[in-house]
A and B are shown apart, each in its own frame.
Chain A
């Protein structure tokens, strides 16, 4: 398994997709910080500049987009193998396909930790600097450390789900378009329109886990943290089980 994991990490590092994903993440995180640190005298912002929960809120908001990118990254990790035909040599090297799946999950687990670290490494100092420049209070207490921990858990779950989607929907275009449509158009429409339903959806549960944002219009309808965690775990487990069940039986043509 160690050799397979090492090979999967080499696959991720030997193309430009990883660098592209990291750059996209950092760019969107920077935009999120700029958009969500309130200006002086902004009375409509959810958190004022002197609110001790402001830093945790801004960092939580910064975790709004990385799940979409990480699930796409996981999806690409598998669909690219089908697109370019490398799945043949992968399965010839390790005919036990469930082991290949596990190796990819572990690789994406590590990659998601890198993306989470990068998100925090940019969002925390950048937000802090911006808040201080506007004479606000930067506090690492309270929910901040919860946001950090949940960030790692959420992105790891999305990485695992992404790999499972890639294993199940082998057509890269269909898989990528499907993920984007689901996570942006469908979830972003259903969650604010039907919050009672939306909070049970993956991004709804994710929003509930963070509690303070991104709310996606779920204000007042959030699940409790334990329930949200179980919902996300259930989605992850279902994706894993389905991929493990179907992948070994499929013909590679």
Chain B
């Protein structure tokens, strides 16, 4: 199985710098999530990896070789880049037969992947009649035709209903557990946090963070959401204890564990109407992205210029 390596990958479209000097590694046997908001450069990065877009500089390799240099690429890399990659007038079976024929794969490959993706009963239906979830499955079936060691998925959960997302998670996790390299992109951490081992956070074309999900979770810490009729008194206590907080519509969002907040309230005799722990991972993700956004910090920009 191959590792995926991005080395100083850069792509400009005219004046627009879509991907800026991205270097990262996705290891075999792991699910690596490429995370970032829309327009972060995720798709362009994946397309450069797959030889569909030429990098302005840098290189993307699979097992040390560029995609175009791979012999039998379909047997080494499977990719799902868009849910619309099908002729609507073609049956699912014909779609897979075409890919199988072009790649010189065994004739039984389509039936194998259709069974794996639970589409066997719909093999002779035209893809135009498929739901988005079925198209995503067909995309995965196409990607798995050559039984590749590397899987590249662009926003695979887009448009899937909850059972579809659950199925996809299980399928992708199983592929990684078999030792394959899985690189998938998403704009929402919540969609991948149950399956990803490693995260690459991308915003404005730049790689902001490359770390294991466990490390990101530890770094993000745990917060609390507090409701109290004595908000000003609790704020004063939090200030005195040097615990950061934000006033929100739901109450006070405190950067501390529920135990810390509960004990502090008890010490000051403050009645609480609600105290829940909040997993701060998603907020940490957004904070990371917002901190990289120059538009969000005009004062910083002014300070620099002055």
A96 and chain B: residue at smallest CB distance: B68
**Contact present for A95 and B87 (CB under 8 Å):** no
Report Cα–Cα, A88/B89, bound state, in Å.
18
Residues of B within 8 A of A3 (CB): 101-104
Q: Mark B67-106, 1 if CB is under 8 A from A, else 0.
A: 1101001100101011011111111001001110111100
B residues in contact (CB < 8 Å) with A: 44, 47, 50-54, 67-68, 70, 73-74, 77, 79, 81-82, 84-91, 94, 97-99, 101-104, 142
**Contact present for A14 and B85 (CB under 8 Å):** no
B52, B77, B91: the one within 8 Å of A14 (CB): B91
Residues of A within 8 A of B101 (CB): 3, 6-7, 10
A17 and chain B: residue at smallest CB distance: B89
B47, B53, B97, B99: the one within 8 Å of A93 (CB): B99
**Contact present for B51 and A95 (CB under 8 Å):** yes
Q: Mark A69-112, 1 if CB is under 8 A from B, else 0.
A: 00000000000100011101111111110000000000000000
**Contact present for A253 and B53 (CB under 8 Å):** yes
Report Cα–Cα, A91/B73, bound state, in Å.
10
Majority secondary structure of chain A interface residues (helix, strand, loop or mixed):
helix
Q: Mark A1-44, 1 if CB is under 8 A from B, else 0.
A: 00110110011001110000000000000000000000000000
How far in angstroms is the closest Cβ of chain A from B240? Answer: 55
Residues of A within 8 A of B99 (CB): 7, 89, 93
**Contact present for B54 and A249 (CB under 8 Å):** yes
B82, B84, B97, B102: the one within 8 Å of A94 (CB): B102
A11 and chain B: residue at smallest CB distance: B98
**Contact present for A84 and B88 (CB under 8 Å):** yes
A16, A84, A92: the one within 8 Å of B74 (CB): A92
B44, B67, B85, B86: the one within 8 Å of A95 (CB): B67
**Contact present for B47 and A95 (CB under 8 Å):** no
CB within 8 Å of B: which of A178-223?
Answer: none
A94 and chain B: residue at smallest CB distance: B102
Residues of B within 8 A of A7 (CB): 98-99, 101-102
Residues of B within 8 A of A16 (CB): 89
How far in angstroms is the closest Cβ of chain A from B59? Answer: 15
Report Cα–Cα, A7/B110, bound state, in Å.
14
A85-B51 CB under 8 A given contacts A7-B98, A10-B98, A14-B98: no
A90-B89 CB under 8 A given contacts A95-B68, A251-B52: no
A14-B102 CB under 8 A given contacts A85-B82, A89-B142, A92-B74: no
A residues in contact (CB < 8 Å) with B: 3-4, 6-7, 10-11, 14-16, 80, 84-86, 88-96, 249, 251-253
**Contact present for B86 and A15 (CB under 8 Å):** no
**Contact present for B79 and A15 (CB under 8 Å):** no
Residues of A within 8 A of B67 (CB): 95
**Contact present for B84 and A84 (CB under 8 Å):** yes
9 nearest A-B pairs in the assembled complex, by CB-CB distance? A7-B102, A85-B85, A14-B94, A252-B52, A95-B68, A251-B53, A7-B101, A15-B89, A93-B102
Report Cα–Cα, A80/B99, bound state, in Å.
16
Report Cα–Cα, A95/B48, bound state, in Å.
12
Residues of B within 8 A of A95 (CB): 51, 67-68, 70, 73
**Contact present for B98 and A92 (CB under 8 Å):** no
Most chain A CB within 10 A, of B53, B87, B91, is at B87
B91 and chain A: residue at smallest CB distance: A14
**Contact present for B47 and A253 (CB under 8 Å):** yes
How far in angstroms is the closest Cβ of chain B from A110? Answer: 15
Can you name 27 A-B pairs with beta carbons within 8 Å? A3-B101, A3-B103, A4-B102, A6-B101, A7-B99, A7-B101, A7-B102, A10-B98, A11-B98, A14-B94, A14-B97, A15-B89, A80-B87, A84-B84, A84-B85, A85-B84, A88-B52, A88-B85, A90-B102, A93-B73, A95-B51, A95-B68, A95-B70, A96-B68, A252-B53, A253-B52, A253-B53
B128 and chain A: residue at smallest CB distance: A84
Report Cα–Cα, A82/B101, bound state, in Å.
20
How far in angstroms is the closest Cβ of chain B from A172? Answer: 12
Residues of B within 8 A of A11 (CB): 87, 98
